[in-house]
Chain A
Amino acid sequence: MLALEAPRAFPQATAVGANARPTRSGQRLLIATGLVLTALFLVAPVAVIFSQAFARGFAAYRSSILQPETLHAIWLTAVTAVIAVPINMVFGVAAAWAIAKFRFPGKKTLISLIEIPFSISPIVAGVAYLLVYGSQGLFGEWLADHDIRIMFTPAAIVLVMLFVTSPFVVRELLPLMQAQGSEQEEAAATLGATGFQIFRRVTLPNIRWALLYGTVLCSARAIGEFGAVSVVSGRIRGETNTLPLQIELLYNDYNAAGAFAAASTLTVIALITLLIKAVIERRIGHA
């Protein structure tokens, strides 16, 4: 998944004598099938979002976006993601550092633990958080006694965002840091550099593209998370609705124009994510 691209220097099997011709027409057929399916399956959904969003012209689009509830949803999504993403950047760097630079028993188990959120349904993650911080949850009584509310507030949204995006940064950093080894850091340590100096001057420049890449993926997921957020946010209109939840609300209200306008903003973010990802992949590929 999302593996770093290796350079594609592959001699094609078509270069071999008599079989070249039938293989070539087969090759064209395969490429054409693949491209047509991609257009129908991946491109059409994006196209339909924009065509619906602008179906009634730009002025209607503008007024749909500028509805107070949608604006609030955009603001809430941005704020919660801005809190969640940096926390997972720090965690990602710390975890990748611990796994790549030290030897300890249970390393493989730790890597599996880190990847758990990828294979768990977001709905299940949401329920799990509800059972920790909700009124009937593990800490429910204690929180109620101290007059702290977490569920159905933005804090709960940040918590589930942390859960679903926690593996992204580690997974991008780990292969790189493992491949680099720790000679450079050890050399810096011998020369008397402090831990933080080593990190800032030696480690960080080496991993910066992978870190950026992991952060981009992490942000995209945090902004777009739907299932887990819809369980813990309480979906209070104009209060705890993030942008994906707002899309559902508008869509179920038969406000298609509003839903597609909101969806188009998220689609633009997704396309920008893909662009940044492609650019960074080339950088990493050349490094």
Chain B
Amino acid sequence: MGLTLTYLGIIVLLPLAALILKSAEIGFDGFWQVLSSPRVLASFQLTFTAALIATMINAVYGLLMAWILVRYDFPGKRFVDALVDLPFALPTAVAGVALTTLFAGTGWYGQWLEPAGIQVAYTIIGVAIAMAFTSVPFVIRTVQPVLETLDSQIEEASVTLGAYPFTIFRRVILPMIAPAYLTGCALAFARSLGEFGAVIFIAGNLPFKTEIAALLIFIRLEEFDYPAASAIAAVLLALAFIILFATNVLQARWLRRREASA
């Protein structure tokens, strides 16, 4: 017990406290000055927009994968199920280099997309794809166990009553998996906001255009502008806490409702 708390204190809480102290040092005005600079605002806007696109990609792809992995049988299913965790196992720098090579002008995808006028590498779309790649497992792995425990009798009943598959999905299944689905999407979004390794290769890192917030922190550190770096980092930290808190509240509510109905 004591060991657990001491370790957590030293490894997790102390550094975070130092970050908050440091960014408090520059005061509210200094904080505001850092954050309201056009370059910082542009980086936050890019990071948010790309993270939203990434989350939407994962919301669709993740739900589809969770669904077919739980409900259907097909050859190679075990293999695909293991493969889904690849983005968590693969170092983000490796993912970043690989995705950039795929989407660059001469790459497997880029050579088809660029003549068609679709530029992915070094644009916000590339940033979003890199973010989507690294956060794929969140949606799949939070929805999967809930789909598994769903009672298929309810579905069968609605099939017997003549409902179309899509209606069943929308009216019966979606409401039941919604809390897990939202949690998974929120985690994917949080991960996307902070992603660095996968993104910096494909982004091109142009200030005001494809520079993400995490990279700007890094640039400020290299300029030895520690207050600015810690202020931007504090914002990312606060966002992470807000998302964590919101998903915890959501899950607690959902558990309570499930216990009440059981």
Interface residues in chain A, defined as those with a beta carbon under 8 Å from any beta carbon in chain B: 1-3, 5-6, 8, 10-13, 16-17, 19, 22-23, 26-27, 30-31, 33-35, 37-38, 41-46, 48-49, 52, 91, 94-95, 98-99, 102, 104, 110, 112-117, 119-125, 127-132, 134, 136-138, 159, 162-163, 166, 217, 220-221, 223-227, 230-231, 243-245, 247-248, 251, 259-260, 263, 266-267, 270-271, 273-275, 277-278
Q: Contacts A224-B94, A244-B197; is A46 near B86 (CB within 8 Å)? A: yes
Tell me the bound Cα distance from A1 to B248 in angstroms: 14
Please pick, from B22, B72, B78, B148, the residue contacting A6 in the complex, using a CB distance under 8 A: B148
Q: Contacts A3-B144, A48-B101, A119-B244; is A227 near B196 (CB within 8 Å)? A: yes
Q: Contacts A35-B80, A119-B244, A123-B196; is A110 near B4 (CB within 8 Å)? A: yes
Most buried by B among A1, A13, A223: A1
Please determine whether B11 and A162 come into contact, CB atoms closer than 8 angstroms.
yes
Interface residues in chain B, defined as those with a beta carbon under 8 Å from any beta carbon in chain A: 1, 3-5, 7-8, 11-16, 18-19, 21-22, 61, 64-65, 67-68, 70-72, 74, 76, 78, 80-95, 97-99, 101-102, 107-109, 132-133, 136-138, 141-142, 144-145, 148-149, 152, 155-156, 159-160, 165, 184, 187, 190-191, 193-197, 201, 214, 217-218, 221, 226, 229-230, 233, 236-237, 240-241, 243-244, 248
Please determine whether B152 and A10 come into contact, CB atoms closer than 8 angstroms.
yes
Please determine whether A27 and B102 come into contact, CB atoms closer than 8 angstroms.
no
Please determine whether A136 and B226 come into contact, CB atoms closer than 8 angstroms.
yes
Please determine whether B133 and A127 come into contact, CB atoms closer than 8 angstroms.
no
| Chain B hits for A127, CB < 8 A | 19, 217, 221, 229-230, 233
Tell me the bound Cα distance from A37 to B155 in angstroms: 27
Please determine whether A267 and B94 come into contact, CB atoms closer than 8 angstroms.
yes
Tell me the bound Cα distance from A17 to B218 in angstroms: 61
| Chain A hits for B218, CB < 8 A | 123, 230-231
Tell me how far the C-beta of A121 lies from the nearest C-beta in chain B, rounded to whole angstroms.
Answer: 2
Please determine whether A124 and B19 come into contact, CB atoms closer than 8 angstroms.
yes
Tell me how far the C-beta of B126 lies from the nearest C-beta in chain A, rounded to whole angstroms.
Answer: 13
Tell me the bound Cα distance from A245 to B195 in angstroms: 15
Please pick, from B15, B90, B102, B230, the residue contacting A266 in the complex, using a CB distance under 8 A: B90
Extra contacts, 8 of them, besides A122-B194, A224-B93, A259-B97 (Cβ < 8 A), are A2-B85, A19-B165, A30-B68, A94-B3, A127-B221, A138-B18, A245-B93, A270-B86
Rank and list the top 9 A-B pairs by shortest CB-CB distance, nearest first: A121-B194, A224-B91, A128-B15, A226-B197, A45-B98, A227-B196, A270-B89, A244-B93, A128-B19
Please determine whether A247 and B14 come into contact, CB atoms closer than 8 angstroms.
no
Tell me the bound Cα distance from A43 to B83 in angstroms: 8
Please determine whether B15 and A129 come into contact, CB atoms closer than 8 angstroms.
yes
Chain B: CB-nearest residue to A77: B91
Please determine whether A121 and B193 come into contact, CB atoms closer than 8 angstroms.
yes
Supply 14 A–B pairs (Cβ within 8 Å), ascending by A: A8-B148, A44-B102, A91-B4, A94-B7, A98-B3, A114-B12, A120-B194, A125-B15, A138-B21, A163-B12, A225-B91, A226-B91, A244-B91, A266-B94
| Chain B hits for A128, CB < 8 A | 15-16, 18-19, 233
Please determine whether B8 and A114 come into contact, CB atoms closer than 8 angstroms.
yes
Please determine whether B98 and A41 come into contact, CB atoms closer than 8 angstroms.
no
Chain A: CB-nearest residue to B4: A95
| Chain A hits for B97, CB < 8 A | 49, 247, 251, 259-260, 263
| Chain A hits for B187, CB < 8 A | 1, 119
Tell me the bound Cα distance from A33 to B155 in angstroms: 23
Tell me the bound Cα distance from A19 to B155 in angstroms: 12
Please determine whether A124 and B70 come into contact, CB atoms closer than 8 angstroms.
no
Tell me the bound Cα distance from A31 to B74 in angstroms: 8
Tell me the bound Cα distance from A46 to B19 in angstroms: 36
Tell me the bound Cα distance from A260 to B102 in angstroms: 13
Please pick, from B68, B95, B221, B237, the residue contacting A34 in the complex, using a CB distance under 8 A: B68
Please determine whether A274 and B144 come into contact, CB atoms closer than 8 angstroms.
no
| Chain B hits for A271, CB < 8 A | 89
Tell me how far the C-beta of B249 lies from the nearest C-beta in chain A, rounded to whole angstroms.
Answer: 11
Tell me the bound Cα distance from A159 to B14 in angstroms: 12
Tell me how far the C-beta of A153 lies from the nearest C-beta in chain B, rounded to whole angstroms.
Answer: 17
Please determine whether B233 and A124 come into contact, CB atoms closer than 8 angstroms.
yes
Chain A: CB-nearest residue to B99: A45
| Chain B hits for A17, CB < 8 A | 160
